[in-house]
Chain A
Amino acid sequence: MHPFKYGKTVDLKEAINQLGSQPKANLIAGGTTLVDLLRLNVVTANHLIDINQLPIANIEIFEAKSSPEIGARIGALARNTDVAMHKQIIKNYPLISQAILSGASPQLRNMATVGGNVMQRTRCAYFRDTAVPCNKREPGSGCPAIGGLNRSHAILGTSESCIAVHASDMCVALVALDAQVLLSGPQGERKVALVDFYLLPGNHPEKENLLKPGEIIVQVELPHSPFAKHSHYLKVRDRESFSFALVSAACALEIKNGKIVDARIALGGVATKPWRALDAEKLLLGQSPSEGLFAKAGEVSILGAKPQKSNAFKVELTKRTVKRALLAAVGE
């Protein structure tokens, strides 16, 4: 690990200043991604700005009457465990709680923050090893995952330069529920839909999101959710616990009089960013829930997939996972 300067700040403005004014400054929240990457020399920092004392760890829940637009605000420094265990989150947004609890381990979730989770880096093994090429880490060096070991890689949103998966579970649930992120930077605040916050790799896999120099994620905002009754996060992986998703699906339905009036399907483990399967969602609207319908949604959710040699099984597995998550959402 390269030596670096370390400092804490209690002031958001100061954090933004420090971050924006130095090219190799890095925020550290829970540290569960960052410290790992520092030790691997994948990230080299000369200044770590510890933001754990910034006052942005609150979880606020709002009634529809007093706050028609916003149902919940989750501070960027809220710990993953605190979010997952929050009574109102469990009640209003069970999908988020389930997604978080399916990830990592209790120890990691106790440290990990919401902002850090949004910003976690891919688990692509080539990205994490400085001994080998990787376009994301060293633009232009090549992508050994294409034609190499790619069993865990993406089949959606890929490009010729990068097929790395965005590994978060929580963010799959968040995009399903139309979460927005509030960013604060030298030019002030702005709000972006989380699904748009992430960029597809294209020719520039090193550019992963819309964050500008000096910008910090301050909070995640959620609209009120009509899905609490019918939602399910299903994660399929190689062991019972403590591993990243091969495929995951965050599915949520609003059902009125036996008909689906709103539907959300988001995918994890298969795409270069938390993925909304919009066509599959549309297909469900106005229909009555049934296994056949959900199987069709599974088929559509993966249209356009570009599998590699070792991850082709994800196409079929995604179909089944979506079907099963939808079935689970309606209690089957």
Chain B
Amino acid sequence: MAGKIGESEQSAKYVGKAVNRVDGHSKVTGAATYAAEHKIDDLVYAALIQSTIAKGTITKMDTSEAERLPGVKVIITPFNAPRLSSKSTPSGRSLLLLQDKQVQHDRQNIGLVIADTWESASHAASLVKVSYKQTEPQVEIEKHATYEKLKSTTSEIGKQISAAGHKRGDFSQAFASGAHKVDQIYSTPMESHNPMEPFAVIASWEGEHLTLYDTTQAVFATRKTVAEHFDIPESHVRIISPFVGGGFGSKLSTWSHVILAAMAARKVNLPVKLVLSRAQMYGPVGFRPKTIQRILLAADKNGKLTAIRHDNINETSHFEDYVEASTHTTSRMYACPNLITSQNQVALDIGTPTWMRAPGEAPGSFALESAMDELAYELGLDPIELRVRNYPEKDPESGLPWSSNSLRECYKVGAEKFGWHKRNPEPKSMRAGKDLLGWGMAAATYPTYRMAANAQVTILPSGEALVQAGSQDIGTGTYTIMSQVAADTLGLPIEKIKFELGDSTLPRTPLSGGSMTAASVGSAVQLACQTALNSLIKTAIADQVSPLYQAKAESIVARDEGLYLSSDSKKGERLTDIIKRNKLKQVVGKAESKPGNEDEKYSMHSYGAIFAEVKIDSDLVRPKLTRMVGAYGAGKILNLKTARNQMFGGMTFGIGMALMEHTLIDPKLGRIMNADLAEYHLPVNLDVPNLDVIFIDEHDPHINPLGAKGIGEISITGVAAAIANAVYHATGKRIRDLPITIDKIM
């Protein structure tokens, strides 16, 4: 039987190693084609017209001056836009597609200009004069969900999504009789994804067939959405997306501009390219919503949690319900018999929020892990000790055993690496020179997801293999990891693997979200490779000339570009010899790999512990992060290099979340006022200290054939709380409202 990764470490030449990115060269040389870079004949350019108000009705769009510009082909507005089939989309989005004249949020797409050049299109777009009947927008969640209201009750605020809440035991009674308590409100701001590559699409029709070169985290969902809006079969739509310059969740959905580009291409009967500017991405392509969270904790005198309550309110748009599931992990993070959580929403005149790296977990862990720190001080207990005392031996919500859980190991290893034992817990007690020094920590968790995925492997007479899966590589290293899995399974050097993805005509795979691509697609690639090998093995053992003639299939392994007896490494032959002798054109293996009922038997999650050090000047009070250590139990780490890369990215994301990220909306105008990277602050190099990432050696036989848990999202989870806890330790100031800026500490 062909090698199974994880079972035979010997066969794993690539998996688990720090393998260079197979697409690295093409990326640094510019050979990698991102959506907007595909060379298409007869291309014309579209530029979006976006609303400059947040609420109202468009009464007129004067396009006369714009139309007179040379090169302008057509201007599509709500007054002349083709009618579309208005079906709900698979991603649950309800898109605003020029089908009416309502303006529901700032920077809503309200038209587009198509012209010979991008310059003419964008100039013309700026000349279109839009008249509105304006209404005062409501953009402040605080007006509808005040802290006072939240303190008295949560059920009256906004719309409660009860299905998204958890309840066990009797919270009220347990809280009332708790010996030590915390009752606080935490909030996190609106944040924007800001992937390096902007949203971009090229739409090209041939009759009733549409090809879209799109930057997306979900080629198959995009295909479905587009097909439904144009009332054509999915088979008539092809999505091509070989490279994606980051998405962080924003590119999981098919947003309105994709449909509008296709609409425009159909109208002018030419391929149309549409690229959003940085500013145009603040509104119509999602963001992380502001959350207001109340947490109540009670513990007995030994620090055992007796009651947990976590209520979350998030902002959403008027045309879609988006739930930022901040309370989700709270129900199973700590052993506690009495718990209640709720998810609530307030609809505002803003675009629809969407998933952003660890949606729910990132803001939720800020609140919960800050509250745990507060409880540790309340109890006079070390925050790690408090967490260890409340470690759940099994999933407290479902009662299922963990498939694996290295959380305590993470605390231990992380604390050792950080030097936690040298911490004096007293706030303001530690110094680095004249600066205040603060050490804080937090726990993190993220579920292990997996979905059905397909892959196809073609072993060629040359001895090379073409491996294909629809999928996406959003910068995480999918090309590389899949090539590693294929190379190890087939026993080929990685140079002989060609991996193709990012195309809806390739085998169906899930979206790249929820940190599940490695596990889902990787399992399918492995199975497809095994299927192809099995067919070659069959050929070999039936072939009288083969040294493997009449050998048992189970006794044959793939290695060194051939098939050999596991008991006798000399007995066997090269794949190319089998193929040549049997005059095979190629050997194909197709497979679907899907989860079984393991989630009925096990509770499956990654865990981590994050340690942060800040230095704070006592006058100027800006926290400077000087060190961070993260220890993670995330199953089998398929590629140490890309994995560390992911962790660095996520931790850096967390630094931004903790200290600077904040999308600012003018309260009266309802307009986002920091829609560029000079004013929307992300960490720069100097803000990111040495980051230390430790992966616990974790073997989980239950989760999936590769034993891999996701890492993309746990990497941001808990970071903001660790930093906030460090700031408290340094200054004695508990900042419960992100980001932690000078004005809040002063």
**A residues neighboring B (CB under 8 Å):** 1-3, 41, 123, 125-126, 129, 131-132, 144, 147-149, 151, 236-243, 246, 310, 313, 316-317, 320-321, 323-324
Contact = CB atoms under 8 A, between A and B. Distances in A.
A324 to B, nearest CB: 5
Contact of B743 (A126, A131, A151, A242): A151
Given A123-B678, A324-B617, A324-B620, 10 more contacts: A1-B119, A126-B666, A131-B52, A132-B52, A132-B666, A148-B668, A149-B666, A149-B673, A238-B622, A317-B620
Contacts of A41: 126
Contacts of A125: 664, 673-674, 679
Given A1-B123, A324-B620, A144 B668 contact: yes
B123 A240 contact: no
Contacts of B664: 125, 149
Interface in B681-719: 681, 683-687
B659 A239 contact: yes
B542 interface: no
Contacts of A129: 671, 673
B41 interface: no
Nearest to B741: A238
Given A3-B123, A324-B620, A239 B742 contact: no
Interface string B123-142: 10010000000000000000
A151 B619 CA distance: 19
A147 B667 CA distance: 9
A29 B119 CA distance: 23
A313 B666 CA distance: 20
B168 interface: no
A321 B678 CA distance: 23
B620 A236 contact: yes
A144 B52 CA distance: 15
A246 B742 contact: yes
B686 A241 contact: yes
A123 B624 CA distance: 25
A123 B679 CA distance: 9
A238 B659 CA distance: 8
Residue among B619, B659, B660, B685 having the largest count of chain A Cβ atoms under 10 Å? B619
B746 A132 contact: no
A242 B684 CA distance: 8
B217 interface: no
Given A320-B619, A321-B620, A239 B119 contact: no
A132 B668 CA distance: 11
A147 B666 CA distance: 10
B278 to A, nearest CB: 11
Given A1-B122, A132-B669, A151-B743, A239 B660 contact: yes
Interface in B103-149: 119, 122-123, 126
Nearest to B51: A131
Given A1-B122, A125-B674, A148-B668, A313 B746 contact: yes
A320 B666 CA distance: 29
Contact of B669 (A1, A148, A240, A243): A148
Contacts of B687: 239-241
Contacts of A323: 619
A310 B684 CA distance: 25
B671 A131 contact: yes
Contacts of A148: 666-669, 673
B673 A126 contact: yes
A168 to B, nearest CB: 15
B126 A2 contact: yes
B290 to A, nearest CB: 15
A94 B122 CA distance: 45
A144 B666 contact: yes
Contacts of A324: 617, 619-620
Contacts of B620: 236, 317, 320-321, 324
Contacts of A144: 666, 668-669
Contacts of A3: 119, 123
A112 to B, nearest CB: 14
A241 B742 contact: no
Nearest to B677: A242
A149 B139 CA distance: 13
A316 B659 contact: no
